[in-house]
Structure 1
């Protein structure tokens, strides 16, 4: 097979695994806000072996890497070969499986953007995570624990609550059967939570906002419910809380972005964070995978592209 040499800032890999998720469904239905009309490349993240790198790259052919693909330019991860962003990539940490590597970049880079860069959570604070059994929420759950927060995980089934507890959540709540407001008040002694990590939006997020402590924040990550959370600006004023938008785009300073990835790789190497692998699909099952992302099972969906 022939391919164009990678441009500066790109690395070309032979793909073994690629992370999957709700954005794939948004892209194929024409609802992904960063992309126009198709065609475009599905698969935001991928792991595999470097086959070519631009001159001056910190990677070399033969390196085993995982990173964010050039999906915005049409080079997605569901392919034999994919271009990935050099500054959004790391060498695969020792002991990380292919499936864990393929599903690592997006969830943890988004969690880092939310919990460190945009709405920092500090040791001793209380973090409420919506959709905590999903790929984004489960990554934030682990990173929040690594940062020293007390984590309240919210999910929609007993299986998913058990999944969250297994990842280290301090408390688990079922948004379908629990009175979230009452249970959060009970857990926090009436104080409320310091930060809400919200990949869900909709009514569940609107209910959670009622439990924000004074000077609390809601980090708006996504809209898995189909709509972002509606924020009442007068309520925000009177209760003195903030809403923060989170889009995990690379830092303008390449060295700063590399430092983020180095920190995530170090946490993974130490076992503080790990990809919460859920369903693993074969490459021929990508259409079925996309269809199932509206109501995925617990954990991070991953596509096995090649052996």
Structure 2
């Protein structure tokens, strides 16, 4: 089979190498999956760089989110068991964690439904307890994680403000349904959001960026608001002033979605049922901006790492290019 491997950590475009190898052999409790579509996530870039919280042994294959086919023909969603990730024709996954792919979505859309939307659902509903009528601010609203949060926020009845970088991404965020879009490259984010909310700010802030975005979040969070910290795509991990959270009366909530797979897997399955229902109703629809062949996986991961993509970039093995 064809498979991308990382033999030395580095930038994805340089570290990932396409090679031929035998399909991996499942261990106890694992299954071999034919990869129908593999979604590119920012953690794939961190894995290549050796900066992710999980560091698989070298060589490894990145690709943490796939739509695959079991040997008995079932179409499923999975987070592959590293080091045998999804940027290959076949991957391994834990049998107990497989989820049925929604019938209303094609392979690329289904691959993009899993991690980003699960993270959005847990962040907004489990951690922040977002309520209808509240204001939700989403940083990087045109990206893979942000676009999912925008759609889930609208489905929950929230007013959604999207913060983006650039006119192209602003157009994408408007198309996703944001009630207000703020281009951080052309506008003062804090001033624009304060003006739009009458000085109150946002009840829930969804932040996968960190750095300057978090500093803006602390200025914009409303009384009894909640900042959900998801990651640090900016490369800068902020050091929040806890006295500020105290005097302004807001909560800082961390979210590591992967923990739910071991701490509460039943809730992950419940979330998937909720997402499948929303997808069937058309309330959410993964934004797949690019579909690339397996040969283009390294370049696709590099583009996501560089922050120049919108929505989701999905890798399709050669035989599945029509998916």
Decide: shared fold, TM above 0.5: yes
SS of the residue aligned with 1:25? Answer: helix
Match of 2:283 among 255, 261, 272: 272
Write out aligned runs for 1:221-240 (5 A): 221-240=230-249
Give 1:88 shift: 4.3
| Counterpart position of 2:42 | 22
Give 1:156 shift: 0.5
| Counterpart position of 1:45 | 65
Match of 1:139 among 143, 148, 166: 148
| Counterpart position of 1:34 | 54
CA distance in 1, matches of 2:32, 2:254: 31
Q: Which runs of 4+ in 1 moved over 6 A?
A: none
CA distance in 2, matches of 1:2, 1:299: 30
| Counterpart position of 1:101 | 110
Unmatched tracts of structure 2, length 5 or more: 1-21
CA distance in 1, matches of 2:265, 2:217: 36
| Counterpart position of 2:74 | 63
Write out aligned runs for 1:102-117 (5 A): 102-117=111-126
CA distance in 1, matches of 2:110, 2:133: 30
SS of the residue aligned with 1:69? Answer: coil
Q: Which moved more, 1:81-90 or 1:27-36?
A: 81-90
Determine if the alignment matches structure 1 residue 193 to structure 2 residue 214.
no
| Counterpart position of 2:224 | 215
Q: Which moved more, 1:232-241 or 1:255-264?
A: 255-264
Match of 2:309 among 272, 297, 300: 297
Aligned length: 295
| Counterpart position of 2:213 | 204
CA distance in 1, matches of 2:180, 2:192: 10
Unmatched tracts of structure 1, length 5 or more: 52-60
1:92-127 CA distances to partner (integer Å, 9 max, x unpaired)? 222312211122211111111211122221111111
1:175–1:204 CA contact under 8 A, matched in 2: no
- Cα pair distance change 1:229/1:86, threshold 3 Å: farther
Q: Which moved more, 1:83-92 or 1:100-109?
A: 83-92
RMSD of aligned C-alpha atoms? 1.8
- Cα pair distance change 1:30/1:180, threshold 3 Å: same
CA distance in 2, matches of 1:289, 1:242: 36
| Counterpart position of 1:127 | 136
Q: Which moved more, 1:247-256 or 1:146-155?
A: 247-256
Q: Which moved more, 1:130-139 or 1:265-274?
A: 265-274
Q: Which moved more, 1:278-287 or 1:245-254?
A: 245-254
1:152-204 CA distances to partner (integer Å, 9 max, x unpaired)? 00101111111111111111000111111111111111111111100111112
